[in-house]
Amino acid sequence: MAEPPNFQAEMRQLLRDRMIDAARTMVVSEGWGAVNMSRVAKEVGISRPVLYKEIGTKQALADALIERETGIYLTGIAETLARHPADPLAGMTAAAEYTLR
C-alpha cells in the first residue's frame, strides 16, 4: 500500500525549492557574491530564522543549489544518451550539444 501524502513534508519541500530558486536567480543574474541569506529570505517572503532553520548556512544553500543543478544536468545527459541507444557517437555528440546549450 502506498504511503499517504504528507502535507507538512510537501510544504517544507516547496519552501526549500523556493529558497533554492531564489538563490539560483541571484547567482545567474549577479553571481554568488550577491547572494545573502537576508535577501533570499526576503525574495521568498519568509524570515531569516525560517531560512536558517530550513537550509542552514549559506554554504548549505550553495551545496543544495549545486546538488540540484548537477542532478538536472546529469539527468539531461542521461536522457540525451538514451535517445541514441544504437549510435554511441550520435549520443555523445548530442550530449556535447546539450552541455553547450
Residue 69 lies in a domain: yes
How far out from the chain centre does Cα 16 lie? 10
Confidence (pLDDT) at 5? 77
Considering the domain boundaries, does residue 41 fall inside one? Answer: yes
Task: Using CB atoms within 10 Å of the CB of residue 94, give its burial: 0 to 12 exposed, 13 to 18 middle, 19+ buried.
Answer: middle
Q: Is residue 1 part of a domain?
A: no
Is residue 90 domain-resident? yes
Inside any domain, residue 20: yes
Which CATH number belongs to the domain containing residue 47 in this structure?
Answer: 1.10.357.10
Q: What is the pLDDT of residue 37?
A: 96
Give the total number of structural domains in the chain: 1
Report which DSSP code applies to 57. Answer: S
pLDDT tens, 27-65? Answer: 999 999 999 999 999 999 999 999 999 999 999 999 999
Whether residue 3 lies inside any domain: the answer is: no
Whether residue 51 is contained in a domain is answered as yes
Distances (CA, A) of 63 to 3, 20, 70, 73, 83: 29, 10, 10, 15, 30
Residue 58 inside a domain? The answer is yes
| pLDDT value, residue 4 | 76
- What pLDDT score does 2 carry? 73
Domain, as residue range, for 77: 8-100
Q: What is the pTM of this model?
A: 0.83
